[in-house]
Structure 1
Amino acid sequence: MPVESDEEVRAVFDLEAIAVVGCSSTPGKAAHEIPRYLQDVGYEVIPVNPNAEEVLGRPAYDSLSEVEETVDVVDVFRPSEEVADVVDEVIAREDVDVVWLQLGIHDDEAVSRAETDGRKVVQDRCMKPEHRRLVA
């Protein structure tokens, strides 16, 4: 189910736990600054980055499948070519409600699979400005 209206996007921000696949440990990068913003405004940010031990003061997981906490939203900061693998991991979990693909990240086939599996999908939007516009 594509999430397109402001009301639908606003509802995503009612969820609490956001796993950020590709969360960066490098300040200044969007994949660091946006999760940090989300953490600062009260979301539980769960970093997924196999190249980091810790991001934003939290242990980083090597993959989404290794995340032990409950995940409501998966925010993807990886190249479009990697979306299919992330969606495979989402489908293997029962807790994820929403897949959010950041600006410029697309994979129509993977999105279709996620939606067919009952997940909501947001594409080509950034969580930080959307949160500021609709919630903050």
Structure 2
Amino acid sequence: MPFQNPSREAIKEILVNAKNIAVVGLSDKPDRESYMVSEAMQKKGYRIIPVNPMVNGTILGEACYKSLADIPEPVDIVNVFRRSEQTVPVAEEAVRIGAKVLWLQLGIYNEEAADIAKAGGLEVIMDRCIKVEDSILLPGGK
């Protein structure tokens, strides 16, 4: 059976209950989509935790981590800005850290990564923009 994203109502519940969003592939360049989306989510009240092995220091005022495993606190959503073929190791790491949701951004789709995450107990959303979904489902904020 082909992959299906959760219902809009289920996605709304995920967003309402999410506090910490680890963003894998978050760029420190303000003109990048990952930065703009994460900044908008941060302004809506979500805690953004940058994950980028190429960045030392901070992004959007938050400490940047080399990997999901380095984050010293619970993660609700792992939001991924990586090419589809690079998402399997991210899914494996998301399972290992006990994240609740693996969210692959718009244009990112990998059924193997989804299967790994689902087998590990995570909810999976693929090929959807978290900022767009949040704007539609929670226009007034959380």
Tell me if structure 2 keeps the 8 A contact 1:21–1:74.
yes
Match of 1:64 among 68, 86, 92: 68
How many residues of Structure 1 are paired with residues of Structure 2 in the alignment?
A: 135
Q: Deviations over 1:40-70 (max 9, x none)?
A: 1100100001111211011100011111121
Unaligned runs of 5+ in 1: none
Match of 1:31 among 31, 34, 52: 34
Taking only the aligned residue pairs, the percentage that are identical comes to 38
Tell me if structure 2 keeps the 8 A contact 1:48–1:61.
yes
Match of 2:138 in 1: 135
Tell me if structure 1 keeps the 8 A contact 2:37–2:131.
yes
Q: 5 Å matches for 1:1-136?
A: 3-14=5-16, 15-53=18-56, 54-94=58-98, 96-136=99-139
| Cα separation, 2, equivalents of 1:34 and 1:113 | 26
Q: AA paired with 2:7?
A: S
Q: Tell me the TM-score normalized by structure 1.
A: 0.94
| Cα separation, 2, equivalents of 1:44 and 1:66 | 16
**Secondary structure of residue in 2 paired with 1:103:** coil
Q: Tell me the TM-score normalized by structure 2.
A: 0.91
Unaligned runs of 5+ in 2: none
